[in-house]
């Protein structure tokens, strides 16, 4: 079973401190852990509106945790004060279901606070570094949800497919992609946007993402708990084969987010003027999730999946493509899971890393 590689992940020497926003969230926590593992001399500022975990690190020079609402100017300012931030991973946000359900919150966090963060990072760089110093690297986590007018059966070729989002979340992500690009175009920051695939298996509680069931259908039953299947009414429902889903194993996606900071700026611009990359993924079906649950959890775990169609979830999932062309991302050095074994690898990682190797 192939695994991501880390040898090439050398941060430029001028990046001595990085800021990770959304560091209390799923992706942010995993990214901070990888940064801690790979770079013993890097200073990490981990911020979130909730207290981010310290991952057992007590050395405040290595990891500084800041609980801050990035929508509040004073709290945002405090994150940068006294620092020399050479890299930013902008990961905080309100997920797809949450942004659809709470329109003002989605706009305020997913657009306004990101716009303020870019501005703060730019002003911080101007005030902190000399004129000839390289611009800080700025990685923004967007989503493939920016593509609309697709179905789960679509295979998107980004070279020909225009971006027309069909959810507030997708609109918000795309707006910020453009602002991020503009900061790059102006030479204020060295910006890079990565559109994430659905990352699986996500640990913890179900999220507000409409895709939450993709991780939930395996995560909860493996722990002896019930989990909804909101896209089908029964095990015989053809929807289990229809809703093709584009996913990435957690460790592969995290590796790729870091690679986005490391890859050559010229290479990226050669592929995308807007400095945007669709992270590579693999295709799975909900039925495949169930089959993998059977393999690792047994027949009794299947009973814990509660089939009941949820029109709100289906409405969003109907606008997601089931596959994307990976060519550009692979050309740029991003890595992809093995289409045959990648999903099972993701489930094995979850069992080993989050359940201590034990299924309930
Ligand atoms: N996980 C996925 O499958 C996936 C897929 C596509 C895109 N993404 C994007 O990747 C990023 C990380 O995703 P995730 O799964 O870790 O999400 P998450 O919900 O686990 O984490 C997001 C974090 O942002 C924080 N946050 C929300 N509002 C904030 C505010 N005002 N100030 C500071 N922090 C705030 C939350 O507290 C949370 O910890 C997000 O931007 C998301 O849109 C994720």
313 and 238 co-located in one domain: yes
* Cβ atoms 99, 221 nearer than 8 A: no
Residue nearest to atom 27 of ligand 1 (CA): 93
Dist. CA 21 → ligand 1 center (Å): 9
DSSP H helical ranges for 186-238? 212-222
The answer to whether residue 115 sits within a structural domain is yes
147 and 288 co-located in one domain: no
Residue 244 CB neighbours (<10 A):
19
216 and 348 co-located in one domain: yes
What's the predicted TM-score (pTM) here? 0.97
CATH number of 302's domain: 3.90.25
List per-residue pLDDT tens for the chain, 360 residues long.
Answer: 678 999 999 999 999 999 999 999 999 999 999 999 999 999 999 999 999 999 999 999 999 999 999 999 999 999 999 999 999 999 999 998 899 899 999 999 999 999 999 999 999 999 999 999 999 999 999 999 999 888 999 999 999 999 999 999 999 999 999 999 999 999 999 999 999 999 999 999 888 788 899 999 999 999 999 999 999 999 999 999 999 999 999 999 999 999 999 999 999 999 999 999 999 999 999 999 999 999 999 999 999 999 999 999 998 889 889 999 999 999 999 999 999 999 999 999 999 999 999 998
The answer to whether residue 296 sits within a structural domain is yes
Query: Which range marks the domain in which residue 149 is found?
Result: 17-197+248-278
CATH number of 53's domain: 3.40.50.720
Q: How far is CA 285 from the centre of its chain?
A: 20
Residue 312 CB neighbours (<10 A):
12
Do strands 190-196 and 276-278 pair parallel, antiparallel, or not at all (unpaired)?
Answer: parallel
The answer, yes or no, to whether any atom of ligand 1 lies below 6 A from the CB of 196, is: yes
Which residues are 200's β-sheet partners? 249
Dist. CA 231 → ligand 1 center (Å): 23
The answer to whether residue 203 sits within a structural domain is no
The answer to whether residue 265 sits within a structural domain is yes
The answer to whether residue 112 sits within a structural domain is yes
76 and 134 co-located in one domain: yes
Dist. CA 90 → ligand 1 center (Å): 9
138 and 264 co-located in one domain: yes
* Cβ atoms 53, 72 nearer than 8 A: no
The answer, yes or no, to whether any atom of ligand 1 lies below 6 A from the CB of 250, is: no
125 and 218 co-located in one domain: no
- Give the residue, out of 93, 140, 203, with the most ligand 1 atoms within 8 A of its beta carbon, to mutate for a pocket test: 93
- State how many domains the chain has: 2
The answer, yes or no, to whether any atom of ligand 1 lies below 6 A from the CB of 143, is: yes
- For residue 145, the 8-state DSSP code is G
């Amino acid at each position: 079973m192939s695994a991501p590689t880390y040898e090439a992940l050398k941060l430029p020497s001028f990046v001595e401190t990085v800021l990770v926003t959304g560091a209390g969230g799923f992706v942010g926590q995993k990214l901070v852990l990888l940064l801690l593992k790979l770079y013993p001399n890097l200073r990490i500022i981990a911020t979130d509106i909730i207290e981010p975990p310290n991952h057992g690190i007590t050395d405040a020079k290595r990891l500084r945790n800041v609980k801050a609402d990035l929508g509040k100017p004073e709290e945002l300012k405090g994150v940068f004060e006294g620092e020399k931030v050479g890299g930013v991973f902008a990961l905080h946000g309100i997920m797809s279901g949450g942004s659809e359900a709470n329109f003002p919150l989605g706009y305020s966090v997913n657009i306004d606070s990101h716009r303020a963060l870019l501005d703060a990072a730019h002003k911080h760089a101007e005030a902190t570094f000399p004129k000839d110093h390289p611009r800080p690297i700025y990685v923004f986590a967007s989503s493939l949800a920016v593509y609309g007018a697709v179905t789960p059966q679509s295979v998107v070729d980004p070279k020909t497919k225009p971006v027309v989002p069909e959810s507030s979340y997708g609109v918000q992500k795309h707006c910020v992609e453009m602002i991020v690009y503009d900061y790059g175009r102006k030479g204020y920051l060295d910006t890079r946007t990565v559109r994430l695939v659905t990352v699986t298996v996500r640990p913890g509680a179900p999220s507000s993402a409409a895709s939450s069931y993709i991780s939930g259908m395996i995560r909860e039953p493996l722990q002896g708990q019930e989990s909804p299947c909101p896209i089908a009414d029964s095990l015989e429902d053809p929807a289990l084969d229809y809703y093709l889903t584009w996913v990435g194993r957690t460790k592969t996606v995290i590796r790729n987010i870091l690679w986005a900071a490391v890859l050559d700026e010229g290479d990226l611009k050669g592929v995308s003027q807007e400095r945007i990359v669709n992270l590579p993924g693999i295709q799975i079906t909900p039925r495949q999730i169930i089959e993998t649950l059977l393999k690792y959890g047994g027949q009794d775990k299947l009973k814990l999946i509660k089939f009941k169609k949820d029109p709100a979830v289906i409405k969003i999932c109907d606008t997601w493509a089931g596959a994307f062309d990976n060519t550009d991302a692979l050309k740029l050095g991003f890595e992809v899971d093995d289409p045959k074994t990648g999903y099972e690898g993701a489930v094995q990682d979850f069992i080993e890393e989050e359940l201590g190797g034990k299924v309930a």
